[in-house]
Amino acid sequence: MIGLFLITHSSYGESLIQCACHVLNTRPVQMAQLGVSGQDDPLDLLPLARKWLSVVDTGDGVLLLTDVFGATPSNLAQKLCEPGRIEAVAGVNLPMLLRTLTYRERETLQGLVNRAVSGGRDGVMAMRTTRDAKT
């Protein structure tokens, strides 16, 4: 199974995991998160990130999910990437996380990257109410 590791600002990653636990009615295995605060030095966090990465990596690869591309959490995630073994996707949201949890046992790592991106993108939509549809 592909491991999942969320590297996000503050407690966003843990909040997403808690929401996923609520939806799935269980805490998924082989998943960890690291919250980065404004006071953290990214270079000090790198050894801790590597430790958590090793916890979720059982040999099938790891998908890193981060929130904002170019921000400190994604820069940290990029330092951990190893093409074909550890991949990263920025822009994590709950639909993306749920999609990766659903498919990580039956997809390749690259396939899971594609599922993550489509899940995040497809989970964002404008909603119309019945009243709006009549106008």
Count of domains for the chain: 1
**Average pLDDT over the chain, rounded to whole?**
95
CATH assignment at residue 89: 3.40.50.510
Q: Which domain range does residue 80 map to?
A: 3-134
């430790």: which residue's tokens? 51
Contact residues for 20 (Cβ-Cβ < 8 A; gap 6+): 28, 94, 97, 98, 101
Q: Residue 6 has what pLDDT?
A: 98
What are 93-125's pLDDT values in tens digits? Answer: 999 999 999 999 999 999 999 999 999 999 999
User: Helix, strand or coil for residue 6?
Assistant: strand
% of the chain surpassing 70 pLDDT: 97
What are 49-98's pLDDT values in tens digits? Answer: 999 999 999 999 999 999 999 999 999 999 999 999 999 999 999 999 99
Helices within the chain (DSSP H only): 12-24, 42-56, 72-80, 94-103, 109-122, 130-134
Q: Residue 132 has what pLDDT?
A: 63
